[in-house]
Amino acid sequence: MQRNTKKQNMKILAAAIALVLASAALWGVVQVGIGISVDPQRTLQSSLGWMVDCVAFSLTLAMCGRERVRERFLTAQAWFALALSAAAMIGLYTIAELGPFAYKNQFAAYLEVGTGIAVARAVRGREHSIVWVAATPWISAAGAMFAAAAAAGSRAGAILCLAELLVLPAVAAWRGWIAGRALARITALAMVSAGVLVMVTGWETVWRRLQEPNPYAVRANLLRSSTAMARDRPLTGFGLGAWPSAYPGYARYDDGTFVNQAHNDWAQWAVEGGLPLLLAMLAVAGMLLRPAVESLWGLGLTAVFVHAWVDYPFEQRPALAAFLFAMAGALAATASTKACRPDEPFRA
């Protein structure tokens, strides 16, 4: 009875998230229809993006309903993220490009999801005798993703990926999936892998950026402007996707460049969709938190929501946003079937 109740609750959770995404898309159309949006074309484009996010979430939710399919899907995502990290590093040091990613922080946000999956796989032991053979490749993959984020120069991304390497094994130990000695060994392996690989890919860029005085001064000014914008239209917003069009009237400085995003997705959601959209997205992040802890790998997606406080992983690049909401669908599918506890936790 308790299992059926939990399963039903998780199905309600999945339906609620899909409803939020669909409502966001519809809200943009309403904003244009009643003349709220200050940039109708951008708003309709953004509405289409939210609908794509809803479809990506719903399709992955349906596809990952079967555990075997979901496990293969997640494993493929982790290895693809590793391959893309390697390709991006080659591109960074040859043609100064990060593969398909035009912006280092969006690249790092993508890696945060892959890091979460890799670390979660590392603590899934099936047989005591082969646990380290199984864990080492996954931890090394997670370390490589952290090293790629650092080499790209993403401060927040490098910090969050490193935090995943340390926090996720600790969460596994807290939930009783691994014993204390296993936690110490996994952590040591993670630090060694991360240290060696970051020396290979390069750490100078992110270190130099960490040494900058007032590194978030520009973002602070943008946040103040966004706060003023949200205060003027707290319920209606300026229109989905319309932040760049509304911003010049609230700019606190002018250096001659075009400011395309708020560099804070949460603030931008409040400006574009009003407090209703902000609260709805806070609810989505909150609803996904428990499944994230239970699955362990989902904490990588939680890291992206944290990253969104200082950057814009969900904005500007529709493909990345669709990917992130697709992973949210996989997480909701995990929660709606059963908690993703390792089948045979190892106790080395």
Per-residue pLDDT reduced to its tens digit, 260-274: 999 999 999 999 999
Greater pLDDT, 301 or 257: 301
The pLDDT value recorded for residue 72 is: 96
> Across the chain, what does the average pLDDT equal?
90
Taking 90 as the threshold, does the pLDDT of residue 337 lie above it?
no
Please indicate, yes or no, if residue 159 is contained in any of the structural domains: yes
**How does DSSP classify residue 102?**
S
Overall average pLDDT of the 285-294 stretch: 95
Give residue 91's pLDDT: 93
Angle value at C-alpha 41, between 37 and 42, nearest 5 degrees: 75
Distance CA 63, CA 329 (A): 9
| Range name among 89-98, 128-137, 142-151, 194-203 with the lowest pLDDT average | 128-137
pLDDT of residue 48: 97
Q: How far is CA 277 from the centre of its chain?
A: 18
93 domain-assigned: yes
pLDDT of residue 339: 44
pLDDT range class, residue 347, cuts 50, 70, 90: very low
For residue 134, what pLDDT band results from cuts at 50, 70 and 90? confident
Which pLDDT value is given to residue 127?
Answer: 38
Residue with more model confidence, 82 or 316:
82
Q: Residue 92 falls within a domain, yes or no?
A: yes
The residue with greater pLDDT, 133 or 188, is: 188
Q: Is residue 23 part of a domain?
A: no
- Confidence category of residue 253, pLDDT binned at 50, 70, 90: confident
The confidence score (pLDDT) of residue 334 equals: 86
Tokens of 219: 């973002």
Amino acid 231: pLDDT: 97
Q: Which residues 6+ apart lie within 8 Å of 299 measured at CB?
A: 116, 164, 167, 168, 171, 292, 293
Work out the pLDDT band at 214, boundaries 50, 70, 90: confident
Q: Kindly tell me if the per-residue pLDDT of 117 is higher than 70.
A: yes
Q: Which residue has the tokens 């309600």?
A: 12
Residue 4's pLDDT band, with cuts at 50, 70 and 90, is low
**pLDDT at residue 344, rounded to an integer:** 43
Q: What is the per-residue pLDDT across 27-63, written as a single tens digit (0 to 9) for each?
A: 999 999 999 999 999 999 999 999 999 999 999 999 9
Residue 133 confidence (pLDDT) above 70:
no
Number of CB atoms found within 10 A of residue 289's CB: 15
Range of the domain at 92: 86-212
Q: What percentage of residues in the chain have a pLDDT greater than 70? A: 92
| Residues 137 and 118: beta-carbon distance below 8 Å | no
Structural domain includes residue 142: yes
> How many domains are contained in the chain?
1
Tell whether 116 is covered by a domain.
Answer: yes
Strand partners, 98: 101
Taking residues 187-209, report their average pLDDT. Answer: 92
171 within a domain of the structure (yes/no): yes
Closest CA to 302 of 312, 291, 318, 289: 289
Cβ neighbours of residue 19 under 8 Å, at least 6 residues apart?
Answer: none
Does 173 reside within a domain? yes
Q: What is the 3-state secondary structure (H, E, C) of 7-74?
A: HHHHHHHHHHHHHHHHHHHHHHHHHHHCCCCCCHHHHHHHHHHHHHHHHHHHHHHHHCCCHHHHHHHH
CB 265 within 8 A of CB 219: no
